[in-house]
């Protein structure tokens, strides 16, 4: 009997029912339609491509920019008995060869790739020999320059689709405005069968609040005492995560800090302690939470302002996934507002800074012009900046802009365990053992512990376990493994836990680096607009918080949540004018580009006679609350 989506769901995941919208998305994919699936954080996006892929012959290609998440998903699939492979920066050519060959000749059902990998001739040639049943594009908002995490490599996906004609595409994201959703479908060249399936972004059980506080630590303690249960506290600074966690412990609250600069073992220990309920509070940078599915988080607090409402919605949305009452709180002061605006300005260094940084990278790795496309290197910002007397913060922003322009790819520190692949056949290895008695204890234990898997592909190994079994030191084991690699008996990749920097193009002459200056200016404008939307979310005191967020994402028919701070504040006051709400956002968007006089604003917003009084009322309201002010020439501008 032909298995159904429900059979697959129960067999591999143990669930009897799909979540809302999952079945509709899966049905559309199985009908070979191009699908854009918009589902909030924690809505179960992965199953929407994993289930239909398992129902069909062949491999599903999954495009995602997040290496750590890619590796986690592959491990989770394998743990469920579903074969999967991943190709990402930092892997050796031999490792990539083996992974791709397995997808051509073996049993993998999923191949996870970074978008940059689609441009390589090696992958494109192997894909022609694979049976591809589906193309899944995760974090699809990255394809749109109007989104908040633009990645130029995503623009190449439509071109790549020409290699797999007839294969449907499913694009998935948790956060997309209407403009971004339309852009995704256009950039991926959805056909006439393309459909948009969207679950409401409303979270009926999640209460949003903003608190303006000068003494944030005291307010945080008050909130944690009022709201029992598991919590996540988000900050921007790694140092501050440590200080806040220490303060909480001093007041008897079980807390620890988390950021990408910690060693892998320490990150895993703290994350596991929190997941298992042994640790109540994690104080973290935004490195924490991606791909973590803990349903009973009762509280998410942001100490300061996030850069975008998209990022805020995702991070706040990690609370209350079990459907029970949960809270998302922003603690903010005027310094945060000024800091956000300044931070966005700093994120866009001048073009000469970008060229100088690119030249320093070429010198750092001793790269010749025209060389090193798709070569990856360990990268430590502090050492790089110190070597060339660069200011670390400006250098980091320059690197991120070089990434946005498609020249390099930066990966945060991620743990890559030691991996090994035997290059000889079993008969050849047996003959080698007889001829090299000194290697026999190690080889015997490799075969005993890891079995035949080490002949078919790269297998995760533990030098510590091998040392215990052979009764050698760990250094002896590593030396023997290195020797076996030099003798072409094995391919051995020692573990890594450092950030990776990959050159996506052949090395350019820095003086002629083909920067897209217009695109840089457009991105700056978009980033400033997004920052102003965050500030307005925090400053406005009229509109239901949930409604404000939903309106930002284009969901316009939501009335109010009844449980946010503003709904509670205005309970019984009646509805605020719909047009005031609309004008607030339109005024901010228009004035973030340049100051406007009142007549210019009326014209820009096409305010007809009947609406002029409402527009004037909205302007006065914004001036009174301090979000607008007049310039010396009488034009309206945003307050800094």
Do the strands 628-630 and 636-638 form a parallel or antiparallel pair, or are they unpaired?
A: antiparallel
Measure Cα distances from 606 to 35, 323, 435 in Å: 35, 42, 86
Contacts 24+ apart (CB under 8 A), 363-369: 363/388, 364/388, 367/503, 367/507, 368/507, 369/506, 369/507, 369/508, 369/509
Q: CA 162, CA 636: separation in Å to the nearest integer?
A: 50
Please enumerate in sequence order all residues whose Cβ is within 8 A of that of 426, keeping only pairs 6 or more positions apart, or say none: 452, 455
Domain 577-640 CATH class label: mainly alpha
Rounded mean pLDDT of 523-551?
A: 92
Rounded mean pLDDT of 440-463?
A: 90
Dihedral angle computed from the Cα positions of residues 241, 246, 247 and 253, in that order, rounded to the nearest 10 degrees: 100
Tell me what pLDDT residue 213 has. Answer: 93
Structure tokens at 426: 């079993």
35 with 190: CB under 8 angstroms? Answer: no
Rounded mean pLDDT of 220-227?
A: 96
Tell me what pLDDT residue 414 has. Answer: 60
Specify the CATH number of the domain 5-198: 3.40.50.300
Q: Which of 67-76, 224-233, 390-399 has the lowest mean pLDDT?
A: 67-76
Tell me what pLDDT residue 608 has. Answer: 63
Residue 443 pLDDT class (50, 70, 90 cuts): very high
Residue 412 pLDDT class (50, 70, 90 cuts): low
Tell me what pLDDT residue 403 has. Answer: 92
- 356 versus 608: the higher-pLDDT residue is 356
80 with 15: CB under 8 angstroms? Answer: no
Domain 419-493 CATH class label: mainly alpha
Tell me what pLDDT residue 577 has. Answer: 55
User: Is 50 exceeded by the pLDDT of residue 575?
Assistant: no
Q: How buried is residue 253: exposed, middle or buried, by Cβ count under 10 Å (0-12/13-18/19+)?
A: middle
Helices (H), 471-571: 474-486, 517-539, 545-552, 565-569
Residue 240 pLDDT class (50, 70, 90 cuts): very high
CATH superfamily for 206-332 is: P-loop containing nucleotide triphosphate hydrolases (3.40.50.300)
- 45 versus 602: the higher-pLDDT residue is 45
Q: pLDDT (tens digit, 9 = 90+) per residue, 23-50? A: 999 999 999 999 999 987 777 899 999 9
Helices (H), 188-237: 216-226
Tell me what pLDDT residue 578 has. Answer: 63
Rounded mean pLDDT of 584-610?
A: 80
Tell me what pLDDT residue 185 has. Answer: 96
Q: Which of 149-163, 286-300, 448-462, 518-532 has the lowest mean pLDDT?
A: 286-300
* Stated pTM of the model: 0.77
Q: pLDDT (tens digit, 9 = 90+) per residue, 481-525? A: 999 999 999 999 888 777 889 999 999 999 999 999 999 999 999
Tell me what pLDDT residue 452 has. Answer: 85
Residue 635 pLDDT class (50, 70, 90 cuts): confident
Residue range(s) of every CATH 1.10.10.10 domain in the chain: 577-640
311 with 148: CB under 8 angstroms? Answer: yes
Rounded mean pLDDT of 352-375?
A: 96
281 with 432: CB under 8 angstroms? Answer: no
Cβ neighbour number for residue 366 with a 10 Å cutoff: 8
Q: pLDDT (tens digit, 9 = 90+) per residue, 43-64? A: 789 999 999 999 999 999 999 9
The full DSSP string for 281-321 is EEEE-TTS-TT---TTEEEEEEES--S-HHHHHHHHTTS-T
Specify the CATH number of the domain 342-415+498-518: 1.10.10
Q: CA 399, CA 259: separation in Å to the nearest integer?
A: 20
- CA 567 to chain centroid, in Å, comes to 31
Rounded mean pLDDT of 161-182?
A: 93
Tell me what pLDDT residue 582 has. Answer: 77
How much is the mean pLDDT over the chain? Answer: 90
Tell me what pLDDT residue 574 has. Answer: 46
Highest mean pLDDT range out of 56-65, 89-98, 413-422? 56-65
Residue range(s) of every CATH 3.40.50.300 domain in the chain: 5-198, 206-332
């Amino acid at each position: 009997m032909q298995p159904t989506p429900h059979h697959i769901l129960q067999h591999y995941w143990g669930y009897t029912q799909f979540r809302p919208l999952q079945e509709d998305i899966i049905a559309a994919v199985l009908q070979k339609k191009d699908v854009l699936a918009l589902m909030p954080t924690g809505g179960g996006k992965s199953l929407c491509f994993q289930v239909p892929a398992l129902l069909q012959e062949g491999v599903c290609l999954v495009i995602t920019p997040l290496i750590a998440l890619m590796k986690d998903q592959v491990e989770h699939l394998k743990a469920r008995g579903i074969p999967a492979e991943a190709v990402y920066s930092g892997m050796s050519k031999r490792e990539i060869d083996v992974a791709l060959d397995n997808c051509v000749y073996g049993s993998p059902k999923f191949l996870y790739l970074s978008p940059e990998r689609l441009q390589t001739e090696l992958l494109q040639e192997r894909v022609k020999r694979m049976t591809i049943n589906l193309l899944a594009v995760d974090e699809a908002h990255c394809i749109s320059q109007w989104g908040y995490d633009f990645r130029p490599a995503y623009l190449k996906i439509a071109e790549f689709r020409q290699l797999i004609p007839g294969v449907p595409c499913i694009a998935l994201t948790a956060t997309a405005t209407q403009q971004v959703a339309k852009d995704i479908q256009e950039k991926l060249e959805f056909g006439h069968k393309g459909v948009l399936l969207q679950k409401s972004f409303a979270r009926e059980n999640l209460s949003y609040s903003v608190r303006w506080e000068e003494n944030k630590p005291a307010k945080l303690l008050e909130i944690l005492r009022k709201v029992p249960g598991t919590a996540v506290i988000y900050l921007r600074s790694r140092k501050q995560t440590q200080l806040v966690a220490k303060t909480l412990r001093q007041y008897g609250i079980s807390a620890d800090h988390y950021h990408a600069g910690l060693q892998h073992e320490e990150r895993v220990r703290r994350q596991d302690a929190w997941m298992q309920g042994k640790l109540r509070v994690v104080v973290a940078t935004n490195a924490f939470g991606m791909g973590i599915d803990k349903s009973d988080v009762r509280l998410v607090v942001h100490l300061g302002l996030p850069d975008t409402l998209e990022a805020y919605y995702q991070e706040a949305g990690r609370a209350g996934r079990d459907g029970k009452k949960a809270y998302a709180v922003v603690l903010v002061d005027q310094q945060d507002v000024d800091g956000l605006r300044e931070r966005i300005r700093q994120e866009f260094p001048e073009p000469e800074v970008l060229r100088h940084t690119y030249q320093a990278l070429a010198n750092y790795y001793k790269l010749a012009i025209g060389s090193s496309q798709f070569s990856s290197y360990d990268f430590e910002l502090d050492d790089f900046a110190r070597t060339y007397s660069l200011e670390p913060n400006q250098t980091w922003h320059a690197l991120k802009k070089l990434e946005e322009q498609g020249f390099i790819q930066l990966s945060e520190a991620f743990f890559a365990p030691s991996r090994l692949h035997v290059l000889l056949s079993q008969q050849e290895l047996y003959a080698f053992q007889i001829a090299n008695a000194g290697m026999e204890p190690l080889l015997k234990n490799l075969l005993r512990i890891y079995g035949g898997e080490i002949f078919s592909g790269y297998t995760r190994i533990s030098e510590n376990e091998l040392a215990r079994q052979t009764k050698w030191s760990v250094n002896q084991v590593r030396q023997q493994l290195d020797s076996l690699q030099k003798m072409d008996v094995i391919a051995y990749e020692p573990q890594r836990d450092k950030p990776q920097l990959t050159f996506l193009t052949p090395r350019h002459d820095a003086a002629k680096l083909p920067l897209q200056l217009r695109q840089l200016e457009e991105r700056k404008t978009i980033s400033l607009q997004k920052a102003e939307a965050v500030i307005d979310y925090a400053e406005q005191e009229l509109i239901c918080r949930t409604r404000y967020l939903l309106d930002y994402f284009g969901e316009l028919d939501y009335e109010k949540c009844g449980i946010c701070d503003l709904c509670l504040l205005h309970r019984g006051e009646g509805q605020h004018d719909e047009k005031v709400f609309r004008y607030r956002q339109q005024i901010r968007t228009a004035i973030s580009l340049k100051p406007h006089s009142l007549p210019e604003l009326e014209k820009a917003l096409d305010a007809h006679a009947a609406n002029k009084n409402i527009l004037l009322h909205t302007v006065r309201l914004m001036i009174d609350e301090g979000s607008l002010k007049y310039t010396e020439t009488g034009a309206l501008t945003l307050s800094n």
